[in-house]
């Protein structure tokens, strides 16, 4: 098994790891799970922790020399200058999961390279090799095709709100122009970014700091970029370094329109 995993390309390693985590999430769904308090009201369930271990098992077997940064377990291994680092969020949408909602995702990304987002309940796996983006359904791979035709825009309303008072997502939703052009949805999970890449959403907006190296967002950002979406911070700059927050839109026109609303 280890030898066969070692032969896989990075994108297939990401897919295999995400699927391993998704299998745990699916198996434990609906059970009474122990919770571990973290900070600011956040928590992890036994499903988060077990799914991360399953993901780590795949990455260790396939890429034993790579470092891994996990949402629950922190960093294992050392990513030296120019080294390889995997970013893992084993259960994006823990609160949804804990209350019985299936709107969750499993995120695995190699920093600057391949990434995969698995939907444990639809069976879809969205993935990229860093250049092209695809979705795997029932063993069949299909290129992702962003479109703004749905007019649906996911807006993350979870804290923190570093953009306030200059930018508040709730104000965007209340704006007359936004209501005339788009239909809001609120899904606090990387699933929303995968849906933008797949044409199920026109755009996704969230406040925040530098999200490019976040275990929560790295896989979704990689997917959107590879699919040809327009991806920036809420200030219009790159969503890394000095950038903050995230606006991922299917088309340039959609992104330009959202940015005009955000700027006021």
More confident residue, 238 or 50: 50
Contact present, 248 and 201 (Cβ < 8 Å): no
Q: What does each C-alpha distance from 18 to 140, 212, 219 come to in angstroms?
A: 17, 19, 11
Residue 80 pLDDT: 63
Regarding beta strands 152-155 and 183-185, do their DSSP bridges make them parallel or antiparallel, or are they unpaired?
A: parallel
Q: Give yes or no for residue 2 having a pLDDT over 70.
A: no
Q: What does each C-alpha distance from 67 to 12, 79, 87, 179 come to in angstroms?
A: 17, 5, 9, 44
Q: What does each C-alpha distance from 142 to 104, 146, 215 come to in angstroms?
A: 21, 12, 25
pLDDT tens profile 99-146: 999 999 999 999 999 999 999 999 999 999 999 999 999 999 999 999
Residue 82 pLDDT: 66
Residue 49 pLDDT: 96
Q: Give yes or no for residue 39 having a pLDDT over 80.
A: no
Residue 242 pLDDT: 64
Chain centroid offset of residue 72 CA:
16
Span 49-74, average pLDDT: 96
Span 26-30, average pLDDT: 96
More confident residue, 164 or 98: 98
Q: Give yes or no for residue 188 having a pLDDT over 80.
A: no
Q: Give yes or no for residue 243 having a pLDDT over 80.
A: no
- Taken as a whole, the chain contains a residue count of 264
Q: Give yes or no for residue 163 having a pLDDT over 90.
A: no
Q: How many CB atoms lie within 10 A of CB 234?
A: 25
Span 73-78, average pLDDT: 88
DSSP letters along 70-85, please? ETTTEEES---TT--E
Residue 240 pLDDT: 75
Residue 162 pLDDT: 83
Minimal CA–CA distance to 30: which of 93, 92, 91, 102? Answer: 102
- Grade residue 193 by pLDDT with cuts at 50, 70 and 90: very high
Cα angle vertex 92, ends 118, 22, to 5°? 35
Regarding beta strands 152-155 and 105-110, do their DSSP bridges make them parallel or antiparallel, or are they unpaired?
A: unpaired
Summary mean pLDDT of the chain: 92
Residue 111 Ramachandran class (φ > 0 left, ψ -120 to 50 alpha, else beta): beta
Return the minimum-mean-pLDDT range out of 151-155, 159-163, 180-184, 228-232.
Answer: 159-163
More confident residue, 57 or 163: 57
- CA 216 to CA 122: how far, in whole Å? 20
């Amino acid at each position: 098994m280890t030898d066969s995993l070692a032969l896989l390309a990075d994108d297939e390693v990401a897919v295999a790891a995400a699927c391993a985590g998704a299998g745990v999430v699916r198996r434990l769904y609906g059970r009474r799970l122990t919770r571990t308090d973290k900070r600011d009201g956040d928590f992890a369930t036994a499903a988060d922790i077990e799914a991360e271990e399953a993901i780590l098992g795949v990455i260790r077997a396939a890429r034993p020399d790579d470092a891994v940064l996990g949402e629950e377990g922190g960093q294992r291994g050392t990513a030296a200058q120019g080294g390889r680092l995997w970013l893992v969020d084993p259960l994006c949408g823990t609160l949804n999961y804990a209350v019985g909602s299936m709107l969750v995702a499993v995120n695995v990304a190699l920093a600057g390279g391949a990434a995969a987002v698995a939907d444990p309940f639809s069976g879809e796996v969205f993935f990229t090799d860093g250049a092209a983006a695809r979705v795997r359904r029932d063993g069949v791979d299909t290129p992702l095709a962003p479109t703004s035709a749905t007019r649906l825009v996911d807006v993350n309303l979870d804290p923190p709100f570093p953009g306030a008072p200059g930018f508040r997502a709730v104000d965007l939703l209340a704006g007359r122009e936004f209501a005339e052009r788009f239909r809001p949805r609120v899904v606090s999970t990387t699933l929303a970014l995968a849906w933008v890449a797949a044409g199920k959403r026109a755009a996704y907006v969230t406040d925040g700091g530098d999200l490019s190296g976040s275990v929560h967002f790295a896989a979704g950002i990689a997917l959107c970029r590879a699919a040809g979406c327009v991806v920036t911070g809420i200030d219009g700059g790159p969503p890394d370094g000095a950038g903050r927050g995230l606006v991922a839109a299917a088309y340039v026109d959609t992104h330009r329109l959202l940015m005009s609303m955000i700027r006021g």
